[in-house]
Amino acid sequence: MVRKSDKEKTADPAAREMLAYAAQEGLETVWDRLERQTPQCRIGEQGICCRICLMGPCRIRPDGKSPQLGVCGATGDTIVARNLIRMVAAGTASHSEQGRNVALLLRDVALGRNREYGITDPDKLRRVAHRLGIKSRRRNLKQLAGQVAEKALDCFSNHQETPLPFLEAYMPDQTRRQFQKAAETLEWEGEALLPRNIDREVVDILHRTHYGTDHEPKNLLAQGVRCALADGWGGSLIATELQDVLFGTPTVQRTRANLGVLDEAAVNLVVHGHEPILSEKIIEAAKSPEMQDLARARGASGVNVVGMCCTVNEALMRQGVEMAGNHLHQELAIMTGAVEALVVDVQCIFPVMADLARCFHTRFITTSEAARFPGSLHIPLDVERAGDIGRRIVRTAIDAFQERDRGKVFIPEQTATAQVGYSVEEIERHLGGRLSPLTEALQSGQIRGIAGLVGCNNPKVPQDFLHIHLTRELLRRNVLVVGTGCWAIGAAKAGLMDPDLVNGVPEGLKQFCRSHDIPPVLHMGSCVDCSRMLLLFSSLAEESGGPLGKMPLVGAAPEWATEKALTIGLYLAASGLPVHLWPLPPVAGSPLVGHWLTEGMAEGFGGYFLVEEDPVAAADRLVEAMDRRRNGSRGVLNPGIV
Ligand code: SF4
Ligand code: MSK
């Protein structure tokens, strides 16, 4: 067992304070559990174990000694490729369920079955309809919403041919042609790499990875790409676009980040997970005079709704809700003793939260039938009574306030100011209604490139360390940084989204940001909003008349932890971007798969993965890739994922 110091666990001073407090109080954290799991299984780390059938489980020896085949004869290459694309299927499914739920809600609003929600952004609805080829003239908003929702729902199961309707409507022609060329290198024909429908691509992976089916690693990986594209140009894109229609397209908001946003005097309600459908109603209820009065009657100063992970990324982009933290802050927030309710929807929620909440007065409230936890208080979201549910949840938090043990309250003071809310529309608005100033700045070299950063925290990496240092190193090299997810919260906590940061960046970037009144680090939203980055990048490529793979654009998922982050990385790399990852994905057991993800992808798609632990070296490699693209060559730089 390797013991890490608090400094090795997190780069966040508020988290360090909480870790010291947790140790003093005897409270366990994710870092303690990781220590007890260390050293982790080397065979699992390398992706060479298989549990697909009951003749197994099988494992391949990493040292080349026997056994080198599973009981059925599967090789390490097949096993690694199968395991990897099963992760991609799970990532696609997770984002896409969010998209499906939003599409179903929009359909019900359009049909008048749901009166709890409405169309907050009619202009966005018209823009989406226009993209989808739906004529808006002489149609009222609800008719239009109904047709958009049906088109979105078609992407899930009805549409059986290539490509799915949202991809058809949104993907620029030259990006589409890029995939035809890539298909040839994989011996797939025409547009076969473009997804047919989202559900089908997930099912296809589960089918072809079933015992005794597809054993050709490259064929398996090609299906992984097709499924990841169903996420980027399907499920995630649908979630982003339709959430904007229902809840509003993000605009610039000022907010604050870190545990100091918890208010000792108030009822603190933390929303956590990914979906905005319920959190919008909770925020609405908490702001109501009725709930604020009730809180004051119970001795609190009011109700303070803050959030974690991507639920807060959604809420802050539209309402300026403050960020209590990212993935590894979830336990720490409860340990402050000042949280009356932690309300979760889906994904990235530790299963231990119910037990931890019981050590305090905190109500751990689950709301999704897809995400139940033993020991939680379950208040299911019924979208037809969402207002009532929101009020019930806020009332539950207010009731818990009286049970708060004042002696157990310990809130670190740290907060940082952040300016957030950069949808593609908002970026365009700052650039005078078009993206051409950004394209020109890239072409002239005023800005060296754009990096899209995504992803999680992972206790194997000091929390936020890579997020902060890779971002700083990229800025230092005159790169505009955009991003989403827990990276965005980590960057905000570290002050990297403070608009004053512009004063410290190189001249070209500084002048560009100042003349367009944007900061050099742009918060573009939640995990599903990586689709905003995909749209931004492909629009820039379209404007400049070349494929994405020739633009000085890169991606990175430092500190990634989830299957969703891998899927995002794969659709960005398949779209033509060099994508940095750390930690190493579970592919070290197959040099063939490692080679395909680097040189193989570079040859077929233009994009590829690079793996690097050191933020300075990662920034160097990403910037070198940008420069090479600017100079017309897009070869792989220092390939070698393994
Ligand atoms: Fe073993 Fe093959 Fe079954 Fe996998 S599919 S568990 S390698 S026998
Ligand atoms: S919440 S997927 S830990 S970014 Fe979207 Fe954070 Fe990663 Fe979950």
Supply φ then ψ for residue 92, to 5 degrees.
-65, -45
- Contact residues for 249 (Cβ-Cβ < 8 A; gap 6+): 121, 124, 423, 425, 426
- 370 DSSP 8-state letter: T
Enter the tokens of residue 20.
């010291």
- Report which bound ligand comes closest to the CA of 239: 2
Enter the tokens of residue 284.
């609405």
Q: What's the gap in Å between 483 CA and the centre of ligand 2?
A: 12
Tell me if the bond preceding 578 is cis, omega within 30° of 0.
no
Closest C-alpha among 456, 101, 452 to residue 309 = 456
Q: What's the gap in Å between 350 CA and the centre of ligand 2?
A: 12
H runs (alpha helix) in 326-411:
330-335, 353-358, 386-401
Q: Is residue 622 within 8 Å of residue 477, measured between CB atoms?
A: no
- 196 DSSP 8-state letter: S
Q: How many CA atoms lie within 13 A of 372 on its CB side?
A: 6
Q: How far apart are the first and last CA of the chain?
A: 25
Q: Is the CB of 307 under 6 A from ligand 1?
A: no
Atom from ligand 1 closest to the CA of residue 212: 5
CA distance 233 to 193: 13
Tell me if the bond preceding 250 is cis, omega within 30° of 0.
no
Candidates 562, 563, 567, 581: which one to mutate for ligand 2, based on the most atoms within 8 Å of Cβ?
Answer: 562
Q: Is the CB of 74 under 6 A from ligand 1?
A: yes
Q: What pLDDT does 174 receive?
A: 85
Closest C-alpha among 248, 238, 252 to residue 121 = 248
Q: What pLDDT does 631 receive?
A: 85
Q: How many CA atoms lie within 13 A of 499 on its CB side?
A: 13
Q: What pLDDT does 504 receive?
A: 97
b/e sequence 126-161, b meaning 16+ C-beta within 10 Å: bbbbeebebebeeeebeebbbbbbbbbbebbeebee
Q: Is the CB of 55 under 6 A from ligand 1?
A: yes
Q: What pLDDT does 185 receive?
A: 87
What residue type is assigned to position 280 of the chain?
E
Q: What's the gap in Å between 455 CA and the centre of ligand 2?
A: 6
Q: How many CA atoms lie within 13 A of 460 on its CB side?
A: 16
- Contact residues for 35 (Cβ-Cβ < 8 A; gap 6+): 1, 2, 3, 4
- Contact residues for 138 (Cβ-Cβ < 8 A; gap 6+): none
Could you tell me if residue 432 is left (phi over 0), alpha (psi between -120 and 50 degrees) or otherwise beta?
A: left
Q: Please count the other Cβ atoms lying within 10 Å of the Cβ belonging to residue 207.
A: 12
Q: H or E segment at 539?
A: helix 530-544
Q: Is the CB of 60 under 6 A from ligand 1?
A: no
Q: Please count the other Cβ atoms lying within 10 Å of the Cβ belonging to residue 121.
A: 18
pTM given for the model:
0.97
Closest C-alpha among 35, 34, 29, 40 to residue 3 = 35
Going along the chain from its start, the domains and CATH numbers come out as: 81-247 (1.20.1270.30), 259-408 (3.40.50.2030), 419-630 (3.40.50.2030)
- Report which bound ligand comes closest to the CA of 73: 1
Candidates 60, 61, 72: which one to mutate for ligand 1, based on the most atoms within 8 Å of Cβ?
Answer: 72
Partners of 10 in the β-ladder: 463
Q: Is residue 164 within 8 Å of residue 230, measured between CB atoms?
A: yes
CA distance 322 to 313: 9
Q: Give the pairing type, strands 253-257 and 58-59.
A: unpaired
CA distance 587 to 50: 13
CA distance 454 to 557: 5
What residue type is assigned to position 284 of the chain?
E
Q: Is residue 418 within 8 Å of residue 498, measured between CB atoms?
A: yes
Helix, strand, coil tally for the chain in percent (to 5): 55, 10, 35
Q: Is the CB of 76 under 6 A from ligand 1?
A: no
Q: What's the gap in Å between 492 CA and the centre of ligand 2?
A: 15
Partners of 272 in the β-ladder: 308, 344
Q: Please count the other Cβ atoms lying within 10 Å of the Cβ belonging to residue 603.
A: 14
The CA–CA distances, whole Å, from 37 to 15, 40, 41, 149, 582 equal 21, 6, 9, 45, 19
Q: Is residue 56 within 8 Å of residue 70, measured between CB atoms?
A: yes
Q: What pLDDT does 642 receive?
A: 38
Candidates 54, 206, 211: which one to mutate for ligand 1, based on the most atoms within 8 Å of Cβ?
Answer: 211
Partners of 641 in the β-ladder: none
Q: Is residue 278 within 8 Å of residue 381, measured between CB atoms?
A: yes
Averaged pLDDT, groups of 10, the chain, 642 residues long: 86 98 97 97 97 98 96 98 98 98 98 98 97 88 97 93 92 90 91 96 98 98 98 98 98 98 98 97 98 98 98 96 98 98 98 98 98 98 98 98 97 98 98 97 97 98 98 98 98 97 98 98 98 96 88 97 98 97 98 97 95 98 96 57 42
